[in-house]
Amino acid sequence: MTLPTTSREWHLVARPSGWPAVADFALRAVPVREPAEGEILVRNRYLSVDPYMRGRMNDTKSYVPPFGLDEPMTGDALGEVLASRAPGFAVGDVVTHRLGWREFAVLRADDAVAVPAGGEVPVSAYLGVLGMTGLTAYAGLKAVARVREGDVVFVSGAAGAVGGPAGQLARLLGASRVIGSAGGPEKARTLTEVYGFDVGLDYKAAPIGEQLAQAAPDGIDVYFDNVGGDHLEAALDVLNTHGRVAVCGMISAYNATEPPAAPRNLGVVIGKRLRIEGFLVGDHWGLRPEFLREAAGWLRDGRLVSRETVVDGIDHAVDAFLDLMRGGNIGKMLVRLDG
């Protein structure tokens, strides 16, 4: 096999102020070297674009280092091994790794995870419902919110890559009623007709606080937060005493240049004795074997449903990211490089 000598990769060339623009990025061709001892060369087939990447475009201290200017961006990817100088990996193996935003990647074998290929589960699921986003939903519900039998659960951003699995997993973990919010009637219908939520709220149709109060007249026990802002305010109003909030993300503020107006009701945390906890999936990596065992079975038997929005071509990776930030996806947003 003739190995590639060049690869196209996306670089961040300017730090966005507010909403990112196409001009903040550049697609550049770079040389590809042969793998050294202990390394593998991977042809990426799918790239993951995720909301947290917006924070990495700012030059601020956070839980993950910012992208460097005029340097290749990174993110989850899935691909096929083209060459290996590492035991345990052979040409043709399918792996996930963190060197996304590019066509080809040379990386240490220790930084790759082999995934099953050719089975009942599509390999792209290992970037979505069986990957970081699915594990995020599972960890937030099981380890942070500690969902119990009979709980009423509200999930915001419920048509997204984390929110969709979160609503389904809440039911599988014992919730008696699951409510989700999403933007637009199509997404709201997806929650009930595809994912099996009891109620799908279109936050664009009416104030989310009014809708949630009507959907949960007896309150909620758990809120899985992907949105923040007015959604968090609405959830605080209807949470029952000793309710739990797992804060996964606050996408409503990711492109904001001013502090959010809501929530304005944090005082209810005291009287209701609420527990609000932010979390990162990396803190719960030990749950991964358990999660994969359970979730793969649920996916195969149809109790867990996966949805993907796929954009073709490395040239359109930034377009996919910008569309994701505008809410243009249902389920996991992926860029396919071999389509």
DSSP string, 260-308: ------TTHHHHHT-EEEE--GGGGGGGHHHHHHHHHHHHHHTSS---E
Domains and CATH numbers, the chain: 6-126+307-336 (3.90.180.10), 132-282 (3.40.50.720)
Tokens 């992907």 correspond to what residue? 226
Question: What is the predicted pLDDT for the residue at 2?
Answer: 86
d(CA 163, CA 282): 18
Question: What is the predicted pLDDT for the residue at 209?
Answer: 98
Question: What is the predicted pLDDT for the residue at 119?
Answer: 79
How far apart, in Å, are the Cα atoms of 37 and each of 34, 88, 109, 111, 140? 10, 13, 10, 14, 38
d(CA 10, CA 215): 44
Residues 27, 9 contacting (CB under 8 angstroms) = yes
Residues 25, 312 contacting (CB under 8 angstroms) = no
Reading the chain (339 residues) residue by residue, the pLDDT tens digits are 689 999 999 999 999 999 999 999 999 999 999 999 999 999 999 999 999 999 999 999 888 899 999 999 999 999 999 999 999 999 999 999 999 999 999 999 999 999 998 778 899 999 999 999 999 999 999 999 999 999 999 999 999 999 999 999 999 999 999 999 999 999 999 999 999 999 999 999 999 999 999 999 999 999 999 999 999 999 999 999 999 999 999 999 999 888 888 899 999 999 999 999 999 999 999 999 999 999 999 999 999 999 999 999 999 999 999 999 999 999 999 999 974
d(CA 60, CA 65): 8
Report strand pairing: 275-278 vs 71-72: unpaired
List beta partners, residue 2.
none
Q: Give me the phi and psi of 220, to 5 degrees please.
A: -125, 155
Question: What is the predicted pLDDT for the residue at 261?
Answer: 87
Residues 103, 44 contacting (CB under 8 angstroms) = yes
| 43: enclosing H helix or E strand | strand 39-48
Q: Give me the phi and psi of 249, to 5 degrees please.
A: -160, 165
d(CA 218, CA 283): 33
